[in-house]
Each structure stands twice: as C-alpha cells, then as structure tokens.
Amino acid sequence: MKLYCLSGHPTLPCNILKFKSTTIMLDCGLDMTSALNFLPLPLVQSPRLCNLPGWSLKDGNAFLDKELKECSGHVFVDSVPEFCLPETELIDLSTVDVILISNYHCMMALPYITEHTGFTGTVYATEPTVQIGRLLMEELVNFIERVPKAQSASLWKNKDIQRLLPSPLKDAVEVSTWRRCYTMQEVNSALSKIQLVGYSQKIELFGVVQVTPLSSGYALGSSNWIIQSHYEKVSYVSGSSLLTTHPQPMDQASLKNSDVLVLTGLTQIPTANPDGMVGEFCSNLALTIRNGGNVLVPCYPSGVIYDLLECLYQYIDSAGLSSVPFYFISPVANSSLEFSQIFAEWLCHNKQSKVYLPEPPFPHAELIQTNKLKHYPSIHGDFSNDFRQPCVVFTGHPSLRFGDVVHFMELWGKSSLNTVIFTEPDFSYLEALAPYQPLAMKCIYCPIDTRLNFIQVSKLLKEVQPLHVVCPEQYTQPPPAQSHRMDLMIDCQPPPMSYRRAEVLALPFKRRYEKIEIMPELADSLVPMEIKPGISLATVSAVLHTKDNKHVLQPPPRPAQPASGKKRKRMSDDVPDCKVLKPLLSGSIPVEQFVQSLEKHGFSDIKVEDTAKGHIVLLQEAETLIQIEEDSTHIICDNDEMLRVRLRDLVLKFLQKF
C-alpha cells in the first residue's frame, strides 16, 4: 500500500492511495496562493495600476519591464494569474480509478486532472459539494475571463532569470507547472464525471474495496472517507470541524479502528478561536459604520459567509446597524444564497428542524426579504443604481487579485474611514494587500477557520485510536513563527508519518487475510469435529473460484459416472481427480503409555532412547525401530509388513482421526 503525495499544501491536499489493486485519488485541491505574485485584474480601468513602473535588474537591464511591475517595493507579474497544480509527474494519472472529493474547496483542480491527464475513472462527491464547487469554479472562471489580458508573461519563468528576481518571486516553486485558469467548458466536462453519493453510502470499487463518505462537519456536504477491504481500513480525514456551525455534525464514531488514518485539512490559524474572531469581526464592522466608513469583506461566495450573515442578523439591531445596507456581490451570489436553503438534509439538526415549521434554515432569507441584504452578480447594472454609503460589501476573490473586490480596494483604499476585514484564512493578508500600497484604509485580520485545531485532533485521535497516522509534514512540528508552541503540532503514539509534495510513502500495513466465501451446499457437506473445546476442524475439498476480486469455494465436480455402453472419458478429462481421502491425524503419542501398550501386545525387550526431536522406541527382538517425533512417526522394520501394520494400528490408537 502506497501513498503518493501530489500537493504540498496541507489544507488543499491531493494524494493518491494505492490500496489492494485500486488507485484512489484523495481530493484534488488547487493551490491558488501563486496568484498573489500577479498584479490584480481591475474590473474598471485603474490608472494607478496602469502607471506602475516596470521592473529592471540592478544593472539597469529592463528586458523584463513589460512582464514585471513594481509597487511599493514589491514586484508583481503583469499577466493573467496562474495557479500551482498538483504534481503530475509522480504517477501516471490516467491510471487513477476513482477520485474522492471531501469538500468544495478541495476540488478546484479537478478540471486539470480529468481533462488533461487521460483520466477515465469516476469522481465521487456529495451533491452540495458538487453544486457549490461548481459555483466556486464558475465564479473563478468568470472573474478571470471577464478581464481579458492581452499579454501573457513567461520570460520570468526561465530558471536562470527567476534566480535574479527579488523575493518572493525568486523563491516561488515549480513555476514551470503553473497554469492559467480552466474554461467553463472544461469545468462542465469535469463535473459530468462526478457521481453523487450520500453520507454512509457504501460504494464498491471492483469488489475489492468499499468507500464510504461520512459527515465531516466543516461545510455543506463536506465528507471524510472510509476506504476499507474486509480486513483493512483506511480513514481519510480532510477539513473537519467539531464546532456547531451550519453543517451536519462530524461523524467520529465510524472512524474508529482504522489501520491508517490520513489526516489533512486542519485549521490554518491554530491560535485563533473562531468565536473570538467573529466577535472581532462584528465589533470592527460596527465601529467603522458608526464612524461613517464602509466595510469590505473579501470572501468566497459560500461557507463562512453563511455564518457571518447569521451573526450579523442577530447583531445588527443591537449595534444600531439596521439601516445599513449589506451587499453581496458575486456572479453566483444568488445561487449560493438559494442553494444553502435547499440542502436541508445536509444541515445541522437545528436548521433541519426549521424546514418542518416551515421556515428557511438560514436567516439570510429574512435579511433579503427586508432589503437589508442585497445581492448582485457584479458591480455593473443594478448595483450602481442602488449603491448607498456607508455600507458593508461581501465580495470575492479573497486573494484580492481578481473579482469585484479589486474595484472596491481601489475605490475605498484612500480613506482611513473605511475598513477591509479579512475573514478567509487561505491567503496572507499582508501579501494580498501588497499591490494596493500605500493604503489609508484600515485592515483587520480576523481569519475564521472552523477546521480542527490541535487540541481537538488530539482528543479525536484518543477517541478513534488509529494504528498509524499519516499527515503533512507541517503538522509534525510547531509553526515556524511560533517554534516554542509545542502544543501546535500533532502529538500521538506512535509518532505520525509525515509526507511532503512529490513524496511516495509506503504505508506500514501488512496484508494478512483475504475473505473467501463458501457456497451453501459445500458448507452443508462439512463435518466439523471438535478437537479442543471451542475449536472444531473440518477438511474441505473444493474448487477456488476467483472473479472480480471475490473468492468463492465451490463444491468440486462429481466424478463422472462410468456410463455403460458409452464411450469412457479419458482420465485427463476428469478434472480434478478426486481420490478417496485418507483421514487426517492429530494428537501426540505419550511414550510411556505407548510402551505399556506394546508390552500388553506381547512385545518385550523394549528400549526407549531420547533424541533431539523426540524418542526412538527400539524393539530389539524384532529388529524394529519406531521413531516418534513432534510431527511424524516412522516405523522402520525390514520386510515384515504384518508387523508394521500391527505397530501402525497401535500408534493410531493414540491419535485422533478426522
């Protein structure tokens, strides 16, 4: 059993598990932090960005000034943003049988895999994962495609040139594999390969492995996966949460008794408590609005935004913000808000029960009804008519490199009354802000990451007791910035096995048993014999039939009856040849009793010798030797078959037959 690690990002994993004879890809996350090296794509022409000076080498050589621009001491690539794909060289991706998706954030690289590698398998994911994943991809494609960029920079990627660039461009890894965003056509094609599954549904893969999604509590439809054969169990934990937010709670019990537990997708901000961050978010939002400023929240169109809107729903009246407009701008805003209300079966109990009242599970429905929350596909059109300040705007993309957020950064960045509040933990806020410097607007960083923290992981591992834990190497040591925080790493016994990008791990896993079924009529014919209390044995003669990785013992074909008058079959046709079976013997021979028995039967002059392996009983008169060892007995007598048979029967009396 092997694990091929194709991604180095612990929360955007992409691993391949070779288990039995199957090849299973676990998630295919797309590392979009590479986009931070690029200049933002402004929706409206930005004179500031257009007029940034080109970057030239120390010696004044300016051949890169078309590709690289300088802004407040940082250098950015002036081109369409590119993303860092999972490793494609480590294993032939066309051999992947299935892809299991954990949540909508971990499927963003799917079109690259399914459309460009010769992949012919099936992708499994839950319905909300697919629907919201589609929204995220649609939004991404839309953001990038609607701002066409004439030029495409590639010179800087040259290894010799990259070495000359300033950080962080100089240190960017695998730049040659960076790719531009996929198209909507590719997205549709990739999504068509997905087969929908429900929690706890058992999916057979080629009869040899069974995979099951379990609720992971992190997002709508998010799952962990159990991959098991009859005697082996691998758990794949990715992006799980024990907090009570909107999704169904995490199913921990089913993870018990795993041989291997692959653990990815822990919180990216282990020191930040989500509750405190939500409080911080609300306080800063209210402070800004009360001072007459605007609030910008760069966010994804699904996920934490539902929880934030719910908090604000409860908070705005108390903070006197009822008259402040909340805008949610995304090409998929409408679908996201509506989808969230229809996936009742994937929600936590509280929200599920609301559906029966009937009420919408999320309170943002009421915010929309009362006109407190308004949503628009983009800043063009209706939005510009309705736009009123001060206001709160939720919009993407959290990297600040594309999407409507770029426009608001340009618009509001100059006033210190305004605030940008970062809630998504995927991007470093300082790097995200770099191309907007100098910036007068206030910046608040309240990353809200509800995924498991290390205390919760340690409780989880104690609870589910896996034999081995496998995790990204980042989790086996404290974060570099807090090297003294020994509590911010996985602490378990035996210590976890760690992996890094482009590494292949042999999992410590021995294949011990296979399950074989016995046909009922064959089972009927068995005659078990109790050889010890509680243990019975029976001999089986059968044909082992193997098909689709399933093994069945079938009764042997009956020996052909010699048909009178018909042509006799040749011996070779009669397969297999069933001979009359000799009984099997078991037990041991007590030497003293055996000697007594010999004496009783008239043998005299018996001598017993001890040997290394047992005993030798010597019948001197008869010149016969009986060699008794642990697993064999030999009677050596010359030419006296009668004597040998007599002796054999005496020996057999001490043994059990079956």
Partner 1 sequence: MDSLVLGNHCWLPDCLLQPLLTLREQTLGLGTQADRKLPAPTPGHLQQNQPLPVFPNPLCQSRGSTDAECQRNENPGLIMDPECSRLLPAFCSVLVDPRQAVADDTCLEKLLDWFKTVTEAGSSLLLLQENPCLVDLLSHVLDLKPQDVSPRVLSFSLRLAGMFAAQEDCFEYLQGQLLLGLFGEAGPLSWAVWSVPTVRSGWIQGLKSLAQHPGGLHFLGDSGAVDALFSLQGDSSLFVASAASQLLVHVLALSMQDKAEGSPSLKGSAWPACAQKIVAHVEASLCSTTALQITQALNVLTTTFGRCHSPWTEVLWGQLSPLVAHLLDSEPVPATHSLVDLLLSVARSPVFASADCTLWETIARMLSCLSPMQTGPLALGTLKLQHCPQALRSQAFGVLLQPLACILRATAQAPGPPGLLDETTQGCSMTVDTLLSSKSACVGLLCQTLAHLEELQPLPQHPLPWPQTLLVEAVVIILRLCDGSAAPSSSEGCRLCGTLAGCIRVQRAALGFLGTLTLGTSSWELVPQVFAILLETLKSPASSPTVLKKAFQAVLHWLLDSPTPPGCSDLGPHTPLFLRELFPVLQKHLCSPCWEVRDSALEFLTHLSMCWGGEANFREVLLASDVPKLAWQLLRDPESYVRASAVTAMGQLSSQGLQAASDSPGHPEVQQGLVGELLHILSVDSEGFPRRAVTRVFTEWLRNSHADVVQDTEWFVATVLQMVSRDLDWEVRAQGLELVQVFLAQTLGQPNPSCPYAVALPKVTPPSPLPEVLRTLCQMQIFDFAFRALFDCDRPVAQKACDLLLFLRNKSAPCSGLQEAGDSSDVASVEATLERWQVGEQGQPLGSLEPEVVLAALRSMDLEGLQSRLAESSDHVEKSPQSLLQDVLATVALLEENVADCY
Instruction: State the residues that interact with partner 1 by CB under 8 A.
Output: 271-273, 276-280, 282-284, 286-287, 290-291, 311, 314-315, 317-320, 446, 482, 484-488
Instruction: Give burial (CB, 10 Å; 0-12/13-18/19+) of 222.
Output: buried
Least distance to partner 1, CB of residue 201, Å:
38
Measured CA distances, 514 to 208, 544, 552 (Å): 10, 13, 11
Instruction: Give burial (CB, 10 Å; 0-12/13-18/19+) of 220.
Output: buried
Contacts 24+ apart (CB under 8 A), 627-631: 628/589, 628/591, 628/594, 630/588
Q: What whole-number distance in Å separates Cα of residue 13 and Cα of residue 122?
A: 19
Q: What whole-number distance in Å separates Cα of residue 229 and Cα of residue 211?
A: 9
Cβ proximity to partner 1: between 458 and 597 the closer is: 458
Helices (runs of H) and strands (runs of E) counted in the chain: 17, 35
Cβ proximity to partner 1: between 83 and 281 the closer is: 281
Least distance to partner 1, CB of residue 285, Å:
8
Least distance to partner 1, CB of residue 442, Å:
11
- Which has the closest alpha carbon to 518: 536, 538, 544? 544
Cβ proximity to partner 1: between 52 and 311 the closer is: 311
Least distance to partner 1, CB of residue 317, Å:
6
Omega before residue 86 within 30° of 0, cis: no
392: β partners: 295, 326
Least distance to partner 1, CB of residue 319, Å:
6
Q: What whole-number distance in Å separates Cα of residue 221 and Cα of residue 224?
A: 10
Least distance to partner 1, CB of residue 483, Å:
8
Least distance to partner 1, CB of residue 507, Å:
29
Residues 6+ apart with CB under 8 A from 138: 184, 187, 331, 332
Least distance to partner 1, CB of residue 286, Å:
4
Residues recorded for the chain: 658
Cβ proximity to partner 1: between 115 and 280 the closer is: 280
Cβ proximity to partner 1: between 485 and 569 the closer is: 485
Least distance to partner 1, CB of residue 265, Å:
21
Q: Which two tokens stand for residue 255?
A: 């993870």
Cβ proximity to partner 1: between 486 and 585 the closer is: 486
Cβ proximity to partner 1: between 271 and 656 the closer is: 271
Q: What's the DSSP call for residue 26?
A: E
Cβ proximity to partner 1: between 311 and 655 the closer is: 311
Least distance to partner 1, CB of residue 239, Å:
22
Helix (H, G, I), strand (E, B) or coil at 100: strand
Cβ proximity to partner 1: between 317 and 638 the closer is: 317
* Exposure class string for 306-318: b at 16+ Cβ within 10 A, else e: bbbbbbbbebbee
Beta strands in 243-372 (DSSP E): 260-264, 295-298, 326-329
Q: Are strands 209-215 and 179-180 parallel, antiparallel or unpaired?
A: unpaired
Cβ proximity to partner 1: between 287 and 608 the closer is: 287
Q: Are strands 260-264 and 233-238 parallel, antiparallel or unpaired?
A: parallel
Least distance to partner 1, CB of residue 400, Å:
22
Q: What's the DSSP call for residue 93?
A: G
